[in-house]
Structure 1
Amino acid sequence: FVLFFFFKVDREQSKGGDETGLNGILLSCVNTTTFEVVKQITSSVGPWGTWTPIQWCPGGFLSTFCLCVEPKQGNEDDTAADNIIFGCTVPHIVMGNGLERGLYGAWSDTCTEGINGINIRLEKPKGIGDDTSVNDVLFNCA
C-alpha cells in the first residue's frame, strides 16, 4: 500500500515564463508489517520542475484524493493539474507540496484497503506555446 509520495513540480516558469505545475508523481508502497519500501510507482514524468520532499500519511496509507486543477486561462499561462490533497486510512489529511493556482474538485471514492497504483494524462511538450504537463490523475485501489 502507498505510504510515501513525492511530486515533481514546475513552479519557476522555467520555460520562458511558462509554468507547468505538476510534472510527475512518485508513490512508495510499503510492507504493512515491516514498513519497508517494497515497490516504487512512478507516473509518466514531464521535463520541467524539481522533486518535492517526501510526504506521508502518519499511521496509515493513502486512501482517497482531491485534485487541484487550474481552469484554462485564455491567453494567459495554463498549468492544468497543480496539487493533490490525500486522505489517509486513519483520519488524517495531507496537503501536497504543489501549486495553489487551481480549484479543488470533489474527493475520489475511498479505497478502503488503500491506494496501490496510478494513471495520469500527461501533455507532451509543444516546443513553442503554452505547455501544461499533468492534466488528470486516477489512483488505483488495492
Structure 2
Amino acid sequence: MLAIVGLFLLQFQILPSNSLILVSNAPRRVIKTLKASNGAPWGSWGPPQFCAEGTYAIGYSIKAESNQGSGDDTSLNSIKLECKGLDAVRSGGIITSREGPFGHWYSEVKCPSRNGAPTFLKEFILQVEPDQYSGDDTAANFVKFYCRDFAGLTYPSELSVSPGHGNYGSWGRWSGSCGANSAICGLKTQVEGDQGGGDDTALNNVEFYCCEENSEAGK
C-alpha cells in the first residue's frame, strides 16, 4: 500500500490496483469515493472536508427549507457529519462543505450501537427532483444513510432525519458501501448560490469519502 506523502494534492489521482485514491487536500487515507446516481447539475462544488485522523462519521444533520407554498422552494441546503473515534467517545469534530442560505438545521441523528460496539455511516442515497424546466426546481431534497460496524460484519441499518424524505423528487440508487475496516470520513457538496429573483435550488449533489486507519499518521 502506498503512503500519502503530502497533505495538499492538486487533483484526484487513481493509483495502481490495491493503492489509495488521493483526494485534493485530504489529510486522510481515502480509499473510495461514494457518489449519487442522480445528482442535479446546478451550482459549484465546495471544498472537501474531513473528520480528524482516526475518526469517522457516526451521525448527521441536514439544513432544509420547508414547503414555501406558492413561493420558491429549495429543499435540501446543507449536510453536516459528526465524527467520532472507533470507541464512539473521542471527538473528530463536526464537518460540512458548501452551505445553501435557506431553511433551518434539523436535529442530528446517530448510528445505533450493535452488541455494545458503535456503527458508522457507510453508504448513502439521495432524493432529487429532476429539471422542471419552466417550473420551480428544488434539486436535492433529502439524504439518508446505512450504518454498519467498522469491520463491516453487521447487517446495515437505515438512518434518516425525520420524516425520512423530502417533498419533491425520487430516490436514486444506493451509492455502494465503504468496505471492511473503513467508513465515511469526509464530504463535499455542490450548491447553487442565491439567485436573487431567479429560481433557487441550493444543494444539488454530494460526494462522501471512505477512509481507513492510517498507521503512519503523526509520524
Out of 107, 114, 118, which is 2:183 matched to?
114
Contact 1:68 1:100 in 2 (8 A): no
Structure 1 residue aligned with 2:102: 48
Give the corresponding residue for 1:7: 62
Give 1 or 2 for the bigger CA radius of gyration: 2
Identity over the aligned pairs, expressed in percent? 37
Where in structure 1 do 4 or more consecutive aligned residues deviate above 4 Å? none
- Who is 1:94 aligned against? 159
Is the 8 Å Cα contact of residues 24 and 42 (structure 1) preserved in structure 2? yes
Match of 1:82 in 2: 141
Please report how far the alpha carbon of residue 34 of structure 1 lies from its aligned counterpart in structure 2 after TM superposition. 4.5
The one-letter amino acid paired with 2:68 is Q
User: Are the structure 2 counterparts of residues 117 and 79 from structure 1 closer, same or farther at C-alpha, using a change threshold of 3 Å?
Assistant: same
Note closer, same or farther for the CA distance 1:70–1:122 as it changes in structure 2 (3 Å cut): same
* 2:79 is aligned with 1:25: yes
Please tell me whether the aligned partners of residues 3 and 57 of structure 1 are also in contact (alpha carbons under 8 angstroms): yes
Structure with greater strand percent: 1
Provide the aligned C-alpha RMSD in A: 1.7
Give the Cα–Cα distance (whole angstroms) in 2 for the partners of residues 96 and 105 of structure 1: 18
Local SS of the residue matching 1:108:
coil
TM-score (norm 2): 0.61
Q: Structure 2, unaligned stretches of length 5 or more? A: 1-55, 114-118, 149-153, 212-219
Residue 114 of structure 1 aligns with an amino acid whose one-letter code is: A
Q: Could you tell me which runs of 5 or more consecutive residues in structure 1 were left unpaired when the two chains were aligned.
A: none
Query: Which residue number corresponds to residue 36 of structure 1?
Result: 90
* Cα displacement (A) at 1:84: 1.0
